[in-house]
Amino acid sequence: MLVDCQDLVKDIERLKWKLMEKDKDADKATMSGRKAGSTLQKSRSLEDSGAAAAATSDQRTYFEHQFDLRMQLETVQQEAAVLQDKLAEVTRLNDQLATENKKLQILASRSSTSSSKSSSTSSHAGKVDDDAVSVLTTATHCGRL
């Protein structure tokens, strides 16, 4: 579970890096387009409008790709948050079970101590301890402890 969360965090970082690189590329393309656009403005007006449509199409696919990357990043971040919540829940449950295990070990040691003290009442003491263990287990699983 922790490995999955770490993998998701690495994926997030990798996608953030890709997004930053794409933003830099877009800025460079925009800046070079502005510089070239001022010198080629007259020639574009004389050219066929097909080249302008192709440039617009390329720009649209770039923005669609950028949008897709941002959506993927958002999805991965949401998945990471869900996995972190699940990890916290499993950790809490593990702590509860560890506490319950310690209580049961204490009861078992008391049971073995009391049975060695008096062999005539050991069957009765064992029954009481079994009942106590059953009550503790039920109470722990129901969230009463």
Q: Residue ranges per domain, the chain?
A: 2-141
Q: Which residue has the tokens 């720009």?
A: 59
Give the pLDDT of residue 87. Answer: 95
Q: What are the backbone angles phi and psi of residue 119, rounded to the nearest 5°?
A: -80, -20
Give the pLDDT of residue 46. Answer: 45
Residues 20-76 have pLDDT tens digits of 888 888 877 777 765 555 444 444 444 455 555 555 677 778 888 888 899 999 999
Question: What amino acid is encoded at 42 in this protein?
Answer: K
Which has the closest alpha carbon to 24: 57, 52, 55, 62?
62
Please state, in angstroms and rounded to a whole number, the distance separating the CA atoms of residues 22 and 62.
9
The distance of Cα 49 from the centroid of its chain, to the nearest Å, equals 48
Residues 127-141 have pLDDT tens digits of 555 666 665 566 555
pTM, entire model: 0.39
Residue predicted with more confidence, 80 or 7 = 80
Q: What are the backbone angles phi and psi of residue 130, rounded to the nearest 5°?
A: -65, -40
Farthest CA pair distance, the chain: 111
